[in-house]
Amino acid sequence: MIGKQRWAIADGYIPEESTGPEPELTSHDTVCILNAGDEEATVELEVFFTDREPVGPYEETVPANRTKHIRFNGLEDPEEIPKGTPFACVIESDVPVVCQQTRLDSRQAENALLSTIAHAGDS
Amino acid sequence: MIGKQRWAIADGYIPEESTGPEPELTSHDTVCILNAGDEEATVELEVFFTDREPVGPYEETVPANRTKHIRFNGLEDPEEIPKGTPFACVIESDVPVVCQQTRLDSRQAENALLSTIAHAGDS
Amino acid sequence: MIGKQRWAIADGYIPEESTGPEPELTSHDTVCILNAGDEEATVELEVFFTDREPVGPYEETVPANRTKHIRFNGLEDPEEIPKGTPFACVIESDVPVVCQQTRLDSRQAENALLSTIAHAGDS
Amino acid sequence: MIGKQRWAIADGYIPEESTGPEPELTSHDTVCILNAGDEEATVELEVFFTDREPVGPYEETVPANRTKHIRFNGLEDPEEIPKGTPFACVIESDVPVVCQQTRLDSRQAENALLSTIAHAGDS
């Protein structure tokens, strides 16, 4: 078993433009969740903004012994996350998981990447 | 509740030149702060240099349940942070927050990105 | 002595295409392991997918006081990891080690890089 | 006070070639050290390789309330670190410091960046 039940990302951002073939090189911001345990994870994402109330929860399930790479651009319920807008995200799971953020920015002809393991809460 | 009250970044740097449309693709170094709690955060940034005394505090507030993405290039009080100069930063908050650093370097025609969750202090 | 015996990476991905001279600029995803102790480390990698059972263990040894940078693209036993497919990885070692992930993406003419220290388990 | 006395980086690598004006855009791998305390830090770097004994210590001092961004390419004593060669590094300090690794890879016309806070030891 490895992981924590609460994670946070402070720098969320979906670049507005993209260059290159879709969907691989479409600009995206992603949270990748690993559930290395034997029970399905029910995961809730809450998204925070600069100047309005948080939106969520976005509900996801990650089956036992699986990983799920979730593009913030693909979230729709309760609402889409706007592009070109700073956000942040808290991830809560009912079982331990591991969270990592990765962004691909293809606004220019050649893409740029960033990634970091998210911040794990104590509990 | 998630976060810590003290954070540090060791590699701060604002590239001197930029390519592409402003302000999105202006070279910048950023500290992104998430306040996922129910109380406003008063945050103080202290900036460290190689060869002179630290500068600060730079004071910021992050409202309850909000995120704030702060460009080091935009800080003015008590003084601007020079470009092309190595620095570091300690972030202190009166309530728990989460801090992440991201730099966009557009000195060349195609941008480059780096990001990392900051180092969280114990207390 | 520094390190932990269990580590995880949530965002594994080997880009399908590459540009530039091989093998340095071949797109790759890597786990870099440091064994700074005085005993050889026996390391097992387990690889998780989105829609099928985990594969592994991939067994590696890292001698005392050595580092080993392992490309996921190079793993063959028990089976190759497919390109263009999201995966995740848990790393277990019989002695403390330090793990860091780095990806080089050369699908486009200019390469992009990401890196993060992996998530360390508690035990 | 923030920081730890022992840190590690598992993926060190100095790219062999560079494009663009020196020294800013020379390919480099860097460890950035922040000493946010009131006592000078004496820091020792030990560098680990794949197939030979570790080299070190490389000794550095970081004055109180200062940061030092050290390029691995610039280290000379006890010996230079070869380019194009995987390495790793353990950093030990006599007072708490914060360590972050950043690499600039300018082998191609447009640079790429990676960065991560190093792994902090328990003690």
ipTM rounded to 2 decimals: 0.94
Give the residue with greater pLDDT, D67 vs B23: D67
CA dist D72 and D55 (Å) reads 13
Q: Tell me if chain D has a CB within 8 Å of the CB of C115.
A: yes
Full DSSP string of B70-100: EEGGG--SS-PPPTT--EEEEEEEEEEEEEE
Give the residue with greater pLDDT, D105 vs B74: B74
Give Cβ neighbours of residue C8 (< 8 Å, ≥ 6 apart): A2, A3, A34, A36, A98, C88, C89, C90, C91, C118, C119, C121
Q: And the tokens for C28? A: 């790759």
| pLDDT computed for residue A123 by the predictor | 59
| pLDDT computed for residue C109 by the predictor | 67
- For residue A75, is pLDDT > 80? yes
Q: Tell me if chain A has a CB within 8 Å of the CB of D110.
A: yes
Q: Which of residues 53-72 of D touch C (CB under 8 A)?
A: 53-54
| pLDDT computed for residue A106 by the predictor | 79
Give Cβ neighbours of residue D111 (< 8 Å, ≥ 6 apart): B105, B107, B108, B112, D19, D20, D25, D104, D105
Closest CA to A114 of A103, A123, A122: A103
- For residue A53, is pLDDT > 90? yes
Task: Report percent pLDDT > 90 for chain D.
Answer: 78
Residues of D in contact with A116 (CB under 8 A): 116
CA dist A21 and D116 (Å) reads 29
The answer to whether the CB of C64 falls within 8 A of the CB of C40 is: yes
B107 three-state secondary structure = coil
| pLDDT computed for residue C111 by the predictor | 78
Three-state SS letters, chain A: CCCEEEEEEEEECCCCCCCCCCCCCCCEEEEEEEECCCCCEEEEEEEEECCCCCEEEEEEEECCCEEEEEEHHHCCCCCCCCCCCCEEEEEEEEEEEEEEEEEEECCCCCCEEEEEECEECCC
CB spacing of C112 vs B112 below 8 angstroms: yes
Amino acid present at C2: I
- For residue C118, is pLDDT > 80? yes
- For residue D107, is pLDDT > 80? no
Residues of C in contact with D121 (CB under 8 A): 1-3
- For residue B96, is pLDDT > 90? yes
CB spacing of B25 vs A108 below 8 angstroms: yes
The answer to whether the CB of A12 falls within 8 A of the CB of A89 is: yes
Q: And the tokens for A70? A: 């979730």
| pTM of this structure | 0.96
- For residue B107, is pLDDT > 80? no
The answer to whether the CB of B120 falls within 8 A of the CB of B113 is: no
Mutation for D interface: A105, A107, A110, most D CBs within 10 A: A110
- For residue A80, is pLDDT > 70? yes
- For residue D2, is pLDDT > 70? yes
| pLDDT computed for residue A119 by the predictor | 97
Adjacent-strand bridge partners of D66: D35
What is the pLDDT confidence band of residue A26, given thresholds at 50, 70 and 90? confident
Q: And the tokens for B8? A: 């540090």
Q: Is B59 exposed, middle or buried (0-12, 13-18, 19+ CB in 10 A)?
A: exposed
Amino acid present at C57: P
Mean pLDDT of the region A8-23: 87
- For residue C18, is pLDDT > 80? no
CB spacing of A8 vs B114 below 8 angstroms: no
Mean pLDDT of the region C46-60: 98
Mean pLDDT of the region A91-96: 98
| pLDDT computed for residue B65 by the predictor | 98
Q: Which range in B105-119, C16-30, D25-39 is most confidently predicted, on average pLDDT?
A: D25-39
Three-state SS letters, D26-80: CCEEEEEEEECCCCCEEEEEEEEECCCCCEEEEEEEECCCEEEEEEHHHCCCCCC
Q: What is the CA radius of gyration of chain B?
A: 14
Residues of B in contact with D66 (CB under 8 A): 48-51
CA dist A31 and A91 (Å) reads 9
Mean pLDDT of the region A4-30: 89
D40-91 pLDDT per residue, tens: 999 999 999 999 999 999 999 999 999 999 999 999 999 999 999 999 999 9
Q: Tell me if chain D has a CB within 8 Å of the CB of A112.
A: yes
What is the pLDDT confidence band of residue B123, given thresholds at 50, 70 and 90? low
Residues of C in contact with D7 (CB under 8 A): 2
Residues of C in contact with B112 (CB under 8 A): 112
- Subunits next to C (3 or more Cβ pairs <8 Å) are A, B, D
Dump strand ranges (E) for C3-86: 4-12, 28-35, 41-49, 55-62, 66-71
Least confident of A74-78, B102-106, C117-121: B102-106
Least confident of B28-42, C64-78, C99-113: C99-113
Q: And the tokens for D47? A: 């560098």
